[in-house]
């Protein structure tokens, strides 16, 4: 049986493991202006979840560009 702990705060905007790729995408998205885009090797459904949950202000869209790469645009 596991020990039950009380009063431990739930992390906000928790996104699983930290990785250099995720940190680089967040840094890139934070510096983008409307109309800018970047290409990355990532799965489209995963990127859509990432955009929704990463906590970055602004609107982004992602689309499959090839079998292995997607393109992400800042649209607002």
Q: Is residue 59 part of a domain?
A: yes
Domain hosting residue 57, numbered range: 35-74
- pLDDT the model gives residue 57: 86
- pLDDT the model gives residue 14: 56
- pLDDT the model gives residue 62: 92
Mean pLDDT of 21-46: 89
Q: Is residue 21 part of a domain?
A: no
What pTM does this model have?
A: 0.72
Closest CA to 60 of 33, 22, 21: 33
- pLDDT the model gives residue 48: 87
Give me the number of domains the chain comprises: 1
């Amino acid at each position: 049986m596991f020990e039950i702990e009380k009063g431990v705060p739930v992390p906000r905007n928790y996104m699983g493991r930290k990785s250099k790729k995720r940190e680089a995408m967040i840094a890139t998205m934070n510096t983008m202006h409307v109309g800018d885009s970047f290409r990355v090797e990532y799965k489209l459904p995963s990127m859509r979840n990432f955009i929704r949950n990463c906590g970055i202000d602004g609107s982004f869209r992602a689309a499959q560009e090839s079998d292995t790469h997607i393109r992400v645009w800042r649209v607002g």
